Amino acid sequence: MSSRALRQPLSLRLTSNIFLALWCLIAAFPIFWIVVMSFKSPVDAFDSNALNVIFGPATLGVGKGLSLLDIILGVAVIWATIVIAKKTLPPMVKSYSKPGQEWFGWVIGVLVVLVGFLVVFFVVLPAVLSVLNPWFGPLGRDVLGLTTEHYKTVWIDRGFSNNFKNSLIVTTGVVTVSLTVGTLAGYGLARSGSTLAFWILIVALVFRALPHSVLVAGYLPVFINSAEWLAPILGDNAPTLYGKPFAVIAVLVAINQPFTIWMLRSFFQNIPAELDEAARVDGCSHFQAFRRVIMPVMWPGVITTGLFSFLLAYNDFLVTALLLDAQNQTMVPAIVGMFNRETTTTDQVVAVAAAVSITAPLIFLVLIFQRQIVSGLTAGAVKG
Amino acid sequence: MNFRTFAAFVGPSVFMMLLFIAFPLVSVFQQSFYVTQPIYETVEKETCTPGFVTQTCVTEQVSQPKLDEHGEIITQTQYVGLQSYRNVLEPERAWRAISDGSWNVLSTINFWKALRFTLTFTLITLPLVVGCGLGIAILINNAARSIRGPVIFISLLPFIITPVIGVLSINWLFRGDGILTAMMEWWLNRDIALFAQAWTIEVLMMIYRVWHVAPFAAIIFYAGLQTVNQDSLESAVIDGATRWQRLKYIVIPHLMPLIIFVSMIHLMDSYRVFEEIVGFSSQGYVISLQWLTFDYLTPDQAGNRSISRASANSMLTMIGVVILLILPLRRTWRDHKGGH
């Protein structure tokens, strides 16, 4: 690139790009495929012919499908939304929000765009198209089988929204608590070069390697019998910790803590120590220095670490499956239950739709926070 | 920073780790020597079936759990020493199997079966992850700047996806006449059942794991590639080094610390292999150490969890973690001492 000596011959560049395209295909294909499957009738979704899965003749047969016109207008709406979000939204947020409170403007702006998109895409567009389709002859005829009934089954009939709510509670709790506790510890560890700090980090590293099932084996008997041994302290209304979301939050925070403090420590080490020393010279205590000088500049690192805490809590299967009872079940154990229990293909496609529902937020997360995730991965590696 | 301030900052975190990681470890260690069981009593029970003229009555000895006044089962906890470990390891049978050299008998014991799979899985995926990661990183680094962003976005997807869902999505491609199985059948012109024997399931699990972890390795190596010294690369070209030699003598030594880091993380994570077993529902054929603990902890049909066996199995799993960590910890310790 920069120098002539390192320039590569065309054939090499071509081969390299072909392999890169192949990798992208491998990386995205399974995810793309479950998205496609989730919109088809069971016969199509599990057809051994790939083309049948994509075009869905059986789904078309029962009258569920999209015409060319539907596809064109749908893509247009999505494209318009992306353009608005990228080009129009930032200046509007800047001009309407007070300086210093721009994040609030962003929240409102994103919400407005999101709601607008949902209304146009799912309410206005189908109404308009049902009028337009008969007028356009061949353009208006259904060509691509597509049905959203599995999503309706999952979210409305199977009560997946309840699992979603539980996941939301657990992840929010884990992210908030583990960041609060971890930020303080990470700062303390980064600024202290003592042997004790070193040993805490080493022990944390050992804890990170522990299989989670080992820890759960330790919690289970204690949690199940907790009403008994908590009774002397809390009296008769001592809670049974088993099955309670807050107990799972505490457990996940602790499991996540070793990783969190390592990562935040490496971020705090990148903030020059002169900053808080200057504040100390001006008469601040350590806590005041932390609050007034470090807190305003620490957010990039904290957001990145928060993303990884979110992933841990959101993706966890083992801890939530063993420690939560049926009515507090989160999404991932719920879907494993669906997948293992049911054998008809209809039920399998419903499980696929549930899987896509779980994955969609993650894809948006990468879309928005790609830079932070990459920087988080590399920060841990360079220091670790 | 004096000790008091340091303790105030670090205290909450250390407290949580002690309460929820260190304490459970101690209690697991203790539990592995005790067994909690319902107390059984033998009762004479007369069961009568109505018959003509006289009833037929049978008296038999039935053993049933003792109940307390609330109608709940009374349990007692008993010190059993190493019995739980013996139950998990089955040393006599295992030893006989080893001395006979018959692998099939050994693999009927869950623990050894799980250990065998966990180790093979870890050791086979390790070089594949490092190799694929390095390859993808070099490919991304070769690509035009404008497409790197989208490529990294796509690469992150397998890494970020919920592991259980990732496994399921691979599973659905192959299960029954899934499209990829159908494609292989068409290509090889024979019938293929991928979920009917252990080794094909293991291969699928490894494919999944490499697919899932290679992006992580790739992104770290890609960051490392940005800092390779361009001057030494150029002088190598002038000295007549081929591409392969440049990769071998300049790039890989430069990336070595990152390769060690990725290998460490991968060893820790793949030793805990678990989601693959759940997602492929392969417990009939392939199990792993962590899955075994999970299985002991899941209530059986009578609602009992074999906590004691789970604890013994956990402690045995821990031995592996310790062995895994000795080398890197010694290195960190030396670095720490050297740094002062």
Residues within 8 A of A (CB atoms), B 192-251 only: 211, 215-216, 219-220, 223-224, 230, 233-234, 237-238, 243
Q: How far is A71 from chain B (nearest CA, A)?
A: 24
Mean pLDDT of A342-347: 71
pLDDT digits (tens, 9 = 90+) for B227-251: 888 888 888 888 877 888 888 888 8
Could you give the residue ranges of the DSSP H alpha helices within chain A? 10-38, 42-45, 50-55, 57-61, 68-83, 89-96, 102-119, 125-132, 149-152, 160-191, 195-209, 212-224, 226-234, 245-270, 273-281, 286-289, 299-315, 318-323, 331-341, 345-383
- For residue B303, the tally of other CB atoms under 10 A from its CB is 6
Please name the residue that has the structure tokens 């420590």.
A265
Whether A308 shows a pLDDT value over 80: the answer reads yes
- In the structure, what pLDDT confidence band is assigned to residue A254 with cuts at 50, 70 and 90? confident
Return the closest-CA partner of residue A92 out of A101, A82, A83, A84: A84
Whether A1 shows a pLDDT value over 50: the answer reads no
Mean pLDDT of A220-229: 74
What pLDDT shows up at residue B325?
Answer: 77
Whether A149 shows a pLDDT value over 70: the answer reads yes
Q: Whole-angstrom Cα distance, residue B232 to residue A3?
A: 12
Q: Whole-angstrom Cα distance, residue B6 to residue B310?
A: 38
Provide the CB-side half-sphere exposure for A61 (13 A, CA).
Answer: 9
Are the C-beta atoms of residues B289 and B118 closer than 8 Å to each other?
yes
Whether residue B307 and residue A217 make contact (CB cut-off 8 A), yes or no, is yes
Mean pLDDT of A296-323: 84
B21 interaction partners in chain A (CB closer than 8 Å):
207, 210, 215, 254-255, 257-258
Hey, where are the domains in chain B? 107-297+306-329
Whether residue B234 and residue A5 make contact (CB cut-off 8 A), yes or no, is yes
Are the C-beta atoms of residues A256 and A311 closer than 8 Å to each other?
no
More reliable by pLDDT, A26 or B330: A26
Whether B292 shows a pLDDT value over 60: the answer reads yes
Q: Whole-angstrom Cα distance, residue B25 to residue B43?
A: 40
pLDDT digits (tens, 9 = 90+) for A230-251: 666 766 666 777 777 888 888 8
Q: Whole-angstrom Cα distance, residue B284 to residue A138?
A: 52
- For residue B305, the tally of other CB atoms under 10 A from its CB is 18
Residues within 8 A of A (CB atoms), B 163-202 only: 163-166, 168-170, 172-173, 176-179, 181-183
Are the C-beta atoms of residues B305 and B298 closer than 8 Å to each other?
yes
Q: Which residues contact A352 (CB under 8 A, 6 or more apart)?
A: A34, A37, A38, A45, A150, B172
Whether A33 shows a pLDDT value over 80: the answer reads yes
Residues within 8 A of A (CB atoms), B 125-154 only: 135-136, 138-140, 142-143, 149, 151-154
Mean pLDDT of A140-155: 75
B1 interaction partners in chain A (CB closer than 8 Å):
188, 191-192, 286
- In the structure, what pLDDT confidence band is assigned to residue B83 with cuts at 50, 70 and 90? confident
Return the closest-CA partner of residue B299 out of A250, A331, A224, A167: A224
Q: CA–CA distance from A121 to each of A145, A368, B58, B104, B244 (Å)?
A: 18, 21, 73, 59, 52
For residue A92, give both structure tokens. Answer: 């509007």
Mean pLDDT of A126-143: 72
Whether A333 shows a pLDDT value over 80: the answer reads yes
Provide the CB-side half-sphere exposure for B129 (13 A, CA).
Answer: 32
For residue A366, give the 3-state DSSP assignment: helix
Fold adopted by B107-297+306-329: MetI-like fold (1.10.3720)
Closest A-chain CA to B159: A27
Are the C-beta atoms of residues B29 and B311 closer than 8 Å to each other?
yes
Q: What is the mean pLDDT of chain B?
A: 81
Q: How far is A248 from chain B (nearest CA, A)?
A: 11
Mean pLDDT of B157-162: 88
ipTM surpasses cut 0.90: no
Lowest-confidence region among A274-278, B51-55, B179-183, B211-215: B51-55
What pLDDT shows up at residue B71?
Answer: 64
Whether A384 shows a pLDDT value over 60: the answer reads no
The DSSP secondary-structure symbol of A98 reads P
Return the closest-CA partner of residue B206 out of B317, B294, B314, B286: B286
A205 interaction partners in chain B (CB closer than 8 Å):
325, 329, 332
Mean pLDDT of A164-186: 88
Are the C-beta atoms of residues B163 and B213 closer than 8 Å to each other?
no
Are the C-beta atoms of residues B168 and A354 closer than 8 Å to each other?
no
Q: Is A60 on the interface with B (CB under 8 A)?
A: no
What pLDDT shows up at residue B128?
Answer: 92
The torsion angle over the Cα atoms of residues A298, A301, A304 and A307, rounded to 10 degrees, is: -60
Please name the residue that has the structure tokens 């890169």.
A20
Distance of CA B189 to the CA centre of its chain: 35
Are the C-beta atoms of residues B230 and A6 closer than 8 Å to each other?
yes
Are the C-beta atoms of residues A215 and B37 closer than 8 Å to each other?
no
Whether A175 shows a pLDDT value over 70: the answer reads yes
How much is the pTM? 0.83
Are the C-beta atoms of residues B168 and B278 closer than 8 Å to each other?
no
SS3 labels along chain B: CCHHHHHHHHHHHHHHHHHHHHHHHHHHHHHCCEEEEECEEEEEEEEEECCCCCCEEEEEEEEEECECCCCCECEEEEECCCHHHHHHHCHHHHHHHHHHCCHHHHCCCHHHHHHHHHHHHHHHHHHHHHHHHHHHHHHHHHCCHHHHHHHHHHHHHHHHCCHHHHHHHHHHHHCCCCHHHHHHHHHHCCCCCCCCCHHHHHHHHHHHHHHHHHHHHHHHHHHHHCCCCHHHHHHHHHCCCCHHHHHHHHHHHHHHHHHHHHHHHHHHHHHCCCHHHHHCCCCCCCCCHHHHHHHHHCCCCCCCCCHHHHHHHHHHHHHHHHHHHHHHHHHHHHHHHHCC
Q: Is A269 on the interface with B (CB under 8 A)?
A: no
- Bridge partners (DSSP) listed for residue B42: B63
- For residue B147, the tally of other CB atoms under 10 A from its CB is 14
Whether residue B9 and residue A212 make contact (CB cut-off 8 A), yes or no, is no
- Best mutation target among B3, B5, B21 (most A Cβ atoms within 10 Å) is B21
Q: Considering Cα of A43, then A44, then A47, then A52, what sign does the dihedral take?
A: positive
Residues within 8 A of A (CB atoms), B 38-77 only: none
